[in-house]
């Protein structure tokens, strides 16, 4: 799903997702803000050819842009659907931001490695943190009854 789609689906009560354990992995992938991650991956590719600012500075600028763009797209997607703000929209925007942080970690040269040397030297650690973070975020949202489609 996309950050925009999380906001749009927040306006459609009929689009509620199944909240049982059998739908856990569908729920996991639904929280991935694919539109923002695509934008971020393209920015990473552009950075690799740019020699203006230092790589670490550019990476942090793009991480900040992704973290800022994610909640804006969630809210814009909900706003586009009408005037009544759906319940839990703030929670959805927050979870989408955390999801961006978790899923962007796994991208090569993601910028997080500029802050944490262990991530740069051991990509397996980033993959493990991403997998664990994604599973914990999904479990949290299921426990509190929050779905990107609510």
Q: Please, what are the averages of pLDDT over each run of 10 residues along the chain (150 residues)?
A: 62 51 68 82 73 68 87 86 75 89 78 73 82 86 76
Q: The domain containing residue 27 runs over which residues?
A: 3-143
Whether 104 maps to a domain, the answer reads yes
The verdict on residue 52 lying in a domain is yes
Q: Does residue 148 lie within any of the structural domains?
A: no
Residue 124 lies in a domain: yes
- Predicted confidence at residue 8, as pLDDT, reads 61
What confidence score (pLDDT) does residue 17 get? 46
Q: Is residue 149 part of a domain?
A: no
What's the domain count of the chain? 1
From CA 27, how far away is CA 138, in angstroms rounded? Answer: 7
**150 inside domain:** no
Dist. CA 111–CA 113, nearest whole Å: 5
Asked whether 87 and 72 are in contact (CB, 8 A), the reply is no
Confidence at residue 88, expressed as pLDDT on a 0 to 100 scale: 80
Task: Give Dmax (Cα) for the chain.
Answer: 49
Assess if residue 8 is contained within a domain: yes
Q: What is the pTM of this model?
A: 0.73
Using an 8 Å Cβ cutoff, are 114 and 60 in contact?
Answer: yes
Distance (Å, rounded) from C-alpha 71 to C-alpha 4? Answer: 9
| 3-state class (DSSP) for residue 18 | coil
């Amino acid at each position: 799903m996309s950050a925009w789609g999380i906001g749009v689906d927040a306006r459609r009560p009929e689009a509620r997702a199944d909240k049982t354990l059998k739908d856990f992995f569908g729920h996991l992938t639904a929280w991935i803000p694919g539109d923002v991650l695509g934008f971020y991956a393209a920015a990473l590719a552009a950075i690799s050819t740019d020699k203006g600012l230092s790589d670490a500075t550019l990476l942090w600028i793009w991480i900040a842009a992704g973290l800022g763009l994610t909640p804006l797209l969630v809210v814009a997607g909900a706003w586009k659907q009408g005037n009544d703000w759906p319940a839990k929209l703030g929670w959805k925007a927050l979870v989408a931001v955390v999801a961006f942080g978790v899923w962007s970690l796994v991208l090569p040269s993601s910028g997080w490695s500029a802050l944490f040397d262990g991530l740069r030297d051991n990509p397996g650690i980033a993959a493990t943190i991403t997998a664990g973070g994604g599973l914990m975020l999904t479990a949290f949202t299921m426990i509190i009854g929050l779905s990107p489609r609510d």
